[in-house]
Amino acid sequence: MRRLLDGAASRLRDAGVDSPEHDAAELLAHVLGVRRGSLVTAPEPDADQLEAFDALLERRAARVPLQHLTGSAGFRYVELQVGAGVFVPRPETEVVAGFAVERVREALQRRPDPVVVDLCTGSGAIALAVATEVPESRVHAVELDPGAVEWASRNLEGSGVDLRSGDMAEAFPELDGTVDVVVSNPPYIPLEAWESVTAEVRDHDPALALWSGQDGLDAMRVVEATAARLLRPGGVVAVEHADVQGEAAPAVFRATGRWREVADRPDLAGRPRFVTAVRAS
What was the pLDDT predicted at 174?
98
Q: What percent of the chain has pLDDT over 90?
A: 69
For the annotated binding site, the residues are: 143, 185-188
Residues 6+ away with beta carbon under 8 Å from 30:
56, 69, 70
Answer yes or no: is pLDDT of 245 > 60.
yes
Average pLDDT over residues 27-55: 88
Helix spans in 15-145 (H)? 20-32, 47-61, 66-70, 91-108, 125-133
What tens digit of pLDDT does each residue of 83-94 get? 988 888 988 999
* Range of lowest pLDDT (39-43, 97-101, 193-197): 193-197
How many whole angstroms separate alpha carbon 154 and alpha carbon 133? 19
The average confidence (pLDDT) of the chain is: 90
**Percent helix / strand / coil, the chain, rounded to 5:** 45, 20, 35
Q: Provide the greatest CA pair distance for the chain.
A: 66
The answer regarding whether domain 2-62 maps to CATH 1.10.8 reads yes
What was the pLDDT predicted at 44?
86
For domain 73-279, the CATH architecture is 3-Layer(aba) Sandwich (3.40)
Q: How many CA within 13 A on the CB side of residue 123?
A: 26
How many whole angstroms separate alpha carbon 20 and alpha carbon 27? 11
**Structural domain boundaries of the chain?**
2-62, 73-279
- For residues 183 and 100, the answer to whether their CB atoms sit within 8 Å is yes
For the annotated binding site for substrate, the residues are: 185-188
Same fold, 2-62 and 73-279: no
* Range of lowest pLDDT (177-181, 193-197, 270-274): 193-197
For the annotated binding site for S-adenosyl-L-methionine, the residues are: 143, 185
pTM flag (> 0.85): yes
What was the pLDDT predicted at 33?
87
Place 82 in a pLDDT band, splitting at 50, 70 and 90. very high
